[in-house]
Amino acid sequence: MKPLLIAMMGCLAAAAQTPPPILRLIRAPNASGFPARYANAGSNVEVLGMRAMTGLGETWLMEQHPTFASIEDLDKALAPGTDADPSHWVDASPTAQDEVLGPSRTIVAFFRDGWGYRSDDAIRMLPRARYFLVTVYRMRPDSDQDMESLMKQRHQRLDGLNANQPDLVYHVILGASSGLYLVLAPLVSLRAMDDRLARMPLEMEPRQTPSSVVGRESLLFRIDPGLSYVSDDFAAVDKPFWRGQ
C-alpha cells in the first residue's frame, strides 16, 4: 500500500503543477469585496487578484478553470442577474480603453501548450509570485502559425541569455476580437526586472517581426492577496502573505 500511496501523491503533485487549461479574466476598475462573493458561492476555483502598476488603473481577476463546465458551475453559483454576477462587476464606460486589449472587460483564454517558456516552472512560482508581467499581442486574424513561430524565436533568445523568466501563453478565444494572446510571467520580486533590463538589447523583438503583429504592449501588475481567492493548499506555500499575519 505504501508504494501505491507514494505514487498517488506524486500524481497529485504533478496535477497541481499543470497550467490551468482555461482562464477567465475580469478587468474591473475596483474589485473590493469580490473574494467574499466567491466564498459565498462556495467556489473551488483559484482566483488571483492583481492591481495594475502601469497602463490603465484597473484590477484584474484571473480565474483558473479546468474546463468550461467549471465556468458554468461558477456562473450558476454566482447567481446570474444579481450583484454577484461578474458581468455586474465591471465598468461599461467606453472612456477608458486599452489600445491593444481593446474594450473587452471579461475574456476567456485557452492555454497554448509548448508556447510558454518553462511553463512548469511558471506554475510552480504562482504561490510565491508577488507581481505579474503581462505581455499582450494582437495579431491579424488567422495568424496562429506566425504567433507560434514568434514564441519559438523568443524561446531561443531566452535560452541564449540563460534567462530565468518562465511564463505561460494563453490565446483569447471569447470576449475579444480574433488574434489576441497573453504572455503571463509571474515574478517573485521586481528585482528580476533589473536583470531583464540589463539584457534588454538582446531580448527585443526580432528585426523581422511578422507583419501579422498588429500591436504589442507590456503591463506590470502587483498581486493583492486581499483581492484573491485561493485554496489553503495554494496559500500554504506562504501563509502569512495569502492569509495575513
Q: Model confidence over 116-146: pLDDT tens digits?
A: 999 999 999 999 999 999 999 998 888 888 8
Overall pTM > 0.75: yes
Between CA 152 and CA 206 the distance in angstroms is 11
* 19 Cβ contact partners less than 8 Å away, ≥ 6 residues apart: 111, 113, 116, 119, 122, 123, 168
Percent of the chain surpassing pLDDT 90: 42
Q: Is residue 62 in some structural domain?
A: yes
pLDDT averaged over every residue in the chain? 80
Residue 20, pLDDT above cutoff 70: yes
The answer to whether residue 10 sits within a structural domain is no
How many domains does the structure of the chain reveal? 1
On whether residue 12 sits in a domain, the answer given is no
Distance CA 108, CA 126 (A): 20
Q: Residue 88 falls within a domain, yes or no?
A: yes
Task: Answer whether residue 15 shows pLDDT above 90.
Answer: no
Ramachandran category for residue 241: left, alpha or beta (phi over 0 → left; psi -120 to 50 → alpha): alpha
- The answer to whether position 91 is within a domain reads yes
Strand partners for 61: 26, 49
* Structural domain includes residue 148: yes
Sign of the CA dihedral with 20 first, then 245, 37, and 39 last: positive
Q: How do residues 87-121 score in pLDDT, each as one tens digit?
A: 555 555 544 555 556 555 889 999 999 999 999 99
Q: Containing domain of residue 145, as a range?
A: 19-238
Domain of 104, CATH number, reads 3.30.70.100
Residue 14 domain-assigned (yes or no): no
* More confident: 112 or 57: 112
The pLDDT score that the predictor gives to residue 205 is: 53
Strand runs labelled E in the chain? 22-28, 46-52, 59-65, 106-111, 131-139, 168-174, 180-187, 213-223
Domain assignment present for residue 74? The answer is yes
